[in-house]
Amino acid sequence: MNVVIIGSGGREHALALAISKSKLLNKLFCLPGNPGTKNICENIEITPNDFTKILTFSKSNDIDLVIIGPEQPLVDGLSDYLRENNINVFGPSSSAAQIESSKSFAKSLMIRSGVPTASYKEFNSNEFKEAVDYLGNCHFPIVIKADGLASGKGVFICDNRKQAEQIIYEISVDKIFGNAGEKFLIEEFMIGEEASVFAITDGEDFITLPAAQDHKRIGDNDTGKNTGGMGAYAPAPLISEIIEKEIQNKIIKPILHQLKSEGYPFVGCLYAGLMITSEGPKVVEFNCRFGDPETQVVLPILEGDVLKLLFSAATGKIDKESVRYSGGCSVCVVAASKGYPDKFEKGFEISGLDIDDPEVIVYHAGTKEINGKILTNGGRVLGVTSVLKYNNLIEAREKAYNAIKKINFKNIYYRNDIALKAIKFL
The pLDDT value given to residue 76: 98
- pTM for the model stands at 0.95
> What gap in Å lies between CA 254 and CA 190, rounded to an integer?
21
User: Coil, strand or helix: which one is 217?
Assistant: strand
- Written out in words, the top-level CATH class of the domain with range 119-188 is alpha beta
Q: Is the peptide bond prior to 300 cis by the omega test (within 30 degrees of 0)?
A: no
Instruction: Give the CA angle between residues 377, 364, 28 to the nearest 5°.
Output: 120
Q: Where in the chain is the domain with CATH 3.40.50.20?
A: 2-92
Burial of 5 (0-12, 13-18, 19+ CB in 10 A): buried
3-state secondary structure of 70: coil
What CA dihedral angle connects 68, 246, 421 and 214, to 10 degrees?
Answer: 10
- Pseudo-torsion of CA 194, 101, 121, 141, nearest 10°? 30
Coil, strand or helix at 77: coil
**Maximum CA extent, the chain:** 61
DSSP string across 103-131: HHHHHHHHHHHT--B--EEEEETT-HHHH
CATH 3.30.1490.20 domain locations along the chain:
119-188
Q: What's the pLDDT tens digit per position in 80-131? A: 999 999 999 999 999 999 999 999 999 999 999 999 999 999 999 999 999 9
Q: Which pLDDT score is estimated for 292?
A: 97
- Verify cis geometry, omega within 30 degrees of 0, for the bond prior to 32: yes
- pLDDT digits 0-9 by tens, 264-295: 999 999 999 999 999 999 999 999 999 999 99
310-369 tens-digit pLDDT: 999 999 999 999 999 999 999 999 999 999 999 999 999 999 999 999 999 999 999 999
Alpha-carbon distance of 268 to 36, in angstroms, equals 24
Task: Write the pLDDT tens digit of every residue in 359-409.
Answer: 999 999 999 999 999 999 999 999 999 999 999 999 999 999 999 999 999
Strand partners, 233: 213, 331
The CA angle 49-376-221, to the nearest 5 degrees, is: 95
Provide the 10 A C-beta neighbour count for residue 128: 16
User: What's 160's DSSP letter?
Assistant: S
Question: Please, what is the average pLDDT of the chain?
Answer: 96
Q: Cα separation of 381 and 369, whole Å?
A: 13
What architecture does CATH give domain 2-92? 3-Layer(aba) Sandwich (3.40)
CA 287 to chain centre: 7
- How far is residue 212 from each of residues 123, 161, 209, 245, 299, measured CA to CA in Å? 32, 33, 9, 16, 11
Residue 402: exposure state from Cβ atoms within 10 A (0-12, 13-18, ≥19) = middle
Comparing CA positions, the residue from 107, 184, 183, 187 lying closest to residue 142 is 187
**CATH 3.30.2000.20 holds for 193-423:** no
Give the residue range(s) of CATH 3.30.470.20 domains in the chain: 193-423
Tell me the C-alpha to C-alpha distance, in Å, between residue 189 and each of 120, 125, 127. 10, 21, 22
pLDDT band of 151, cuts 50, 70, 90: confident
Closest by CA to 33, choosing from 78, 69, 83, 87, is 69
Three-state DSSP at 345 gives: coil
